[in-house]
Amino acid sequence: MQPCYGYRDVFEVIRQMPTGVRVVLLFGFVILAGIGLTLPLIISQAVEAPVSPLGLLWMLLLAYLIFTLTLILQRKQAAWMLSLGLASLSVPLALVLYFWASLPGLLIGIALAVVLFLSLRGERARGWFNEP
Protein backbone atom coordinates (compact mmCIF):
# COMPACT_ATOMS: atom_id res chain seq x y z
CA MET A 1 0.00 0.00 0.00
CA GLN A 2 1.45 3.34 -1.06
CA PRO A 3 1.38 6.35 1.27
CA CYS A 4 -0.83 9.26 0.34
CA TYR A 5 1.21 12.32 -0.62
CA GLY A 6 -1.76 14.61 -1.27
CA TYR A 7 -1.93 15.75 2.36
CA ARG A 8 1.62 17.09 2.20
CA ASP A 9 0.68 19.23 -0.78
CA VAL A 10 -2.30 20.72 1.06
CA PHE A 11 -0.23 21.50 4.15
CA GLU A 12 2.43 23.12 1.95
CA VAL A 13 -0.22 25.34 0.33
CA ILE A 14 -1.50 26.38 3.77
CA ARG A 15 2.06 27.11 4.98
CA GLN A 16 2.68 29.44 2.03
CA MET A 17 -0.66 31.20 2.43
CA PRO A 18 -0.59 34.89 3.46
CA THR A 19 -1.90 35.67 6.93
CA GLY A 20 -4.85 37.66 5.60
CA VAL A 21 -6.09 34.72 3.57
CA ARG A 22 -5.64 32.44 6.58
CA VAL A 23 -7.83 34.75 8.67
CA VAL A 24 -10.62 34.64 6.09
CA LEU A 25 -10.22 30.88 5.72
CA LEU A 26 -10.43 30.44 9.49
CA PHE A 27 -13.56 32.62 9.61
CA GLY A 28 -15.12 30.47 6.88
CA PHE A 29 -14.36 27.25 8.73
CA VAL A 30 -15.81 28.67 11.97
CA ILE A 31 -19.04 29.56 10.16
CA LEU A 32 -19.04 26.09 8.58
CA ALA A 33 -18.71 24.52 12.03
CA GLY A 34 -21.57 26.70 13.29
CA ILE A 35 -23.78 25.52 10.45
CA GLY A 36 -22.82 21.94 11.21
CA LEU A 37 -23.83 22.39 14.85
CA THR A 38 -27.23 23.82 13.91
CA LEU A 39 -27.93 21.25 11.20
CA PRO A 40 -30.03 18.96 13.47
CA LEU A 41 -32.48 21.85 13.94
CA ILE A 42 -32.77 22.29 10.17
CA ILE A 43 -33.25 18.56 9.63
CA SER A 44 -35.98 18.38 12.27
CA GLN A 45 -37.79 21.24 10.53
CA ALA A 46 -37.46 19.45 7.20
CA VAL A 47 -39.48 16.55 8.58
CA GLU A 48 -42.44 18.88 9.15
CA ALA A 49 -42.07 20.96 5.96
CA PRO A 50 -39.73 19.82 3.19
CA VAL A 51 -39.07 23.39 2.06
CA SER A 52 -38.68 26.05 4.75
CA PRO A 53 -37.18 29.52 4.45
CA LEU A 54 -34.64 28.80 7.19
CA GLY A 55 -33.67 25.52 5.55
CA LEU A 56 -33.19 27.22 2.18
CA LEU A 57 -31.07 29.95 3.76
CA TRP A 58 -28.86 27.45 5.57
CA MET A 59 -28.39 25.26 2.49
CA LEU A 60 -27.50 28.28 0.33
CA LEU A 61 -25.02 29.45 2.95
CA LEU A 62 -23.55 25.95 3.19
CA ALA A 63 -23.11 25.70 -0.58
CA TYR A 64 -21.56 29.19 -0.75
CA LEU A 65 -19.13 28.41 2.05
CA ILE A 66 -17.97 25.10 0.63
CA PHE A 67 -17.54 26.57 -2.86
CA THR A 68 -15.67 29.63 -1.57
CA LEU A 69 -13.36 27.70 0.74
CA THR A 70 -12.53 25.25 -2.04
CA LEU A 71 -11.66 28.05 -4.46
CA ILE A 72 -9.54 29.83 -1.84
CA LEU A 73 -7.51 26.68 -1.25
CA GLN A 74 -7.09 26.27 -5.01
CA ARG A 75 -5.91 29.92 -5.35
CA LYS A 76 -8.44 30.65 -8.10
CA GLN A 77 -8.93 34.22 -9.29
CA ALA A 78 -12.68 33.95 -8.74
CA ALA A 79 -12.01 33.32 -5.05
CA TRP A 80 -10.95 36.95 -4.55
CA MET A 81 -14.48 38.32 -4.91
CA LEU A 82 -15.98 35.33 -3.12
CA SER A 83 -13.62 35.86 -0.18
CA LEU A 84 -14.76 39.49 0.02
CA GLY A 85 -18.33 38.18 0.10
CA LEU A 86 -17.34 35.76 2.85
CA ALA A 87 -15.84 38.65 4.83
CA SER A 88 -19.06 40.63 4.34
CA LEU A 89 -20.91 37.94 6.30
CA SER A 90 -19.35 39.51 9.39
CA VAL A 91 -21.66 42.54 9.04
CA PRO A 92 -24.91 40.64 9.78
CA LEU A 93 -22.95 38.73 12.43
CA ALA A 94 -22.21 42.07 14.13
CA LEU A 95 -25.94 42.81 14.21
CA VAL A 96 -26.73 39.39 15.67
CA LEU A 97 -24.04 39.90 18.31
CA TYR A 98 -25.57 43.31 19.10
CA PHE A 99 -28.94 41.71 19.85
CA TRP A 100 -27.31 38.99 21.94
CA ALA A 101 -24.78 41.05 23.89
CA SER A 102 -25.71 44.71 23.19
CA LEU A 103 -22.82 47.15 22.78
CA PRO A 104 -19.91 44.79 23.58
CA GLY A 105 -21.24 42.29 21.05
CA LEU A 106 -21.57 45.00 18.42
CA LEU A 107 -18.02 46.18 19.05
CA ILE A 108 -16.69 42.64 18.74
CA GLY A 109 -18.62 42.16 15.50
CA ILE A 110 -17.37 45.44 14.04
CA ALA A 111 -13.81 44.60 15.07
CA LEU A 112 -14.13 41.22 13.35
CA ALA A 113 -15.43 42.87 10.18
CA VAL A 114 -12.58 45.39 10.18
CA VAL A 115 -9.98 42.64 10.70
CA LEU A 116 -11.42 40.54 7.89
CA PHE A 117 -11.56 43.37 5.36
CA LEU A 118 -8.15 44.76 6.29
CA SER A 119 -6.60 41.31 6.07
CA LEU A 120 -7.73 41.01 2.45
CA ARG A 121 -6.45 44.47 1.47
CA GLY A 122 -2.78 43.51 1.44
CA GLU A 123 -0.89 43.04 -1.80
CA ARG A 124 0.23 39.57 -0.72
CA ALA A 125 -3.35 38.51 -0.02
CA ARG A 126 -4.51 39.83 -3.40
CA GLY A 127 -1.61 38.14 -5.16
CA TRP A 128 -2.51 34.79 -3.61
CA PHE A 129 -5.42 34.36 -6.01
CA ASN A 130 -3.43 33.88 -9.22
CA GLU A 131 -4.74 30.66 -10.76
CA PRO A 132 -7.11 31.07 -13.72
Residue 13 lies in a domain: no
User: How do residues 2-11 score in pLDDT, each as one tens digit?
Assistant: 455 556 677 7
List the beta strands (DSSP E) in 4-48.
Answer: none
Q: What are the phi and psi torsion angles at 76 (to 5°)?
A: -75, 150
Residue 1 lies in a domain: no
Q: Given this model, what pLDDT does residue 5 score?
A: 56
- Percent of the chain residues past pLDDT 90, beyond the cut: 52
Residue 106 lies in a domain: yes
Residue 6 lies in a domain: no
Count of helices and strands (H, E) across the chain: 6, 0
Q: Is the CA virtual torsion 48, 54, 56, 58 positive or negative?
A: negative
Binned at pLDDT 50, 70 and 90, residue 86 comes out as: very high
Over range 68-89, report the average pLDDT: 92
Residue 90 lies in a domain: yes
Over range 116-132, report the average pLDDT: 88
User: How do residues 23-69 score in pLDDT, each as one tens digit?
Assistant: 999 999 999 999 999 888 888 887 888 788 888 888 899 999 999 99
Domains: count for the chain: 1
Q: Given this model, what pLDDT does residue 11 score?
A: 78
Residue 14 lies in a domain: no
DSSP track, 7-19: HHHHHHHHHHS-H
Residue 43 belongs to domain spanning:
19-127
Average pLDDT score, the chain = 87
Does residue 74 have a pLDDT over 70? yes
Does residue 1 have a pLDDT over 50? no
